[in-house]
Amino acid sequence: MDHSSAGEQAGEEDLYLTEKGEEVLQKANEARAEALEGMHRSIRVFAELFGEKAAQELSAPVFGEESHPIPSSLRRPLGRLRALLDALLREGVSEAEAEEIGRILERTSKELREYVKGD
């Protein structure tokens, strides 16, 4: 059985994992990597749709940078929008569908601009 030290870098006591613990840790690390890749993919999609600056603002909370608080009433709709856009681009859309989606997004952006005080 391989005993891995988990605390040497932080100057803590050595922690040893059982074989089962190592398997669970490996699965957790794989799930984390998969989740991060999904986030990176979503941010790339967001950048393609809304520009690099918007994507940087979106990714700031992920990388520990200062961000603006998101009201709880917006979290679910924003999450749904992000997931929907990711699914659309992952599955692929025809040119006609892309144009219609673009028009929808433009109309939505125009409506939302009314809430921007400095615009």
- Domain housing 92: 71-119
The string of pLDDT tens digits covering residues 44-53 is 777 777 777 7
* Total count of domains within the chain: 2
- What's the alpha-carbon Rg for the chain, to the nearest Å? 21
d(CA 28, CA 22): 10
Query: pTM higher than 0.85, yes or no?
Result: no
95 and 75 share a domain?
A: yes
Q: What is the pLDDT of residues 45-104, one digit of tens each?
A: 777 777 777 777 766 655 554 456 778 888 888 888 888 888 888 888 899 998 999 999
Same domain for 109 and 88: yes
Kindly state whether residues 57 and 75 are assigned to the same domain. Answer: no
**63 and 103 inside one domain:** no
CA angle 12-16-21, nearest 5°?
Answer: 125
Of the candidates 105, 85, 82, the residue with the CA atom closest to the CA atom of residue 93: 85
Question: Do residues 8 and 14 lie in contact, with contact meaning Cβ atoms separated by under 8 Å?
Answer: yes
Do 93 and 101 touch, CB atoms closer than 8 A?
yes
1 and 59 share one domain: yes
Instruction: Give yes or no for a contact between 43 and 58, defined as CB atoms under 8 angstroms apart.
Output: yes
Question: Residue 37 burial (CB < 10 Å; 0-12/13-18/19+)?
Answer: exposed
Q: What distance in Å separates the CA atoms of residue 21 and residue 72, rounded to the nearest whole number?
A: 36
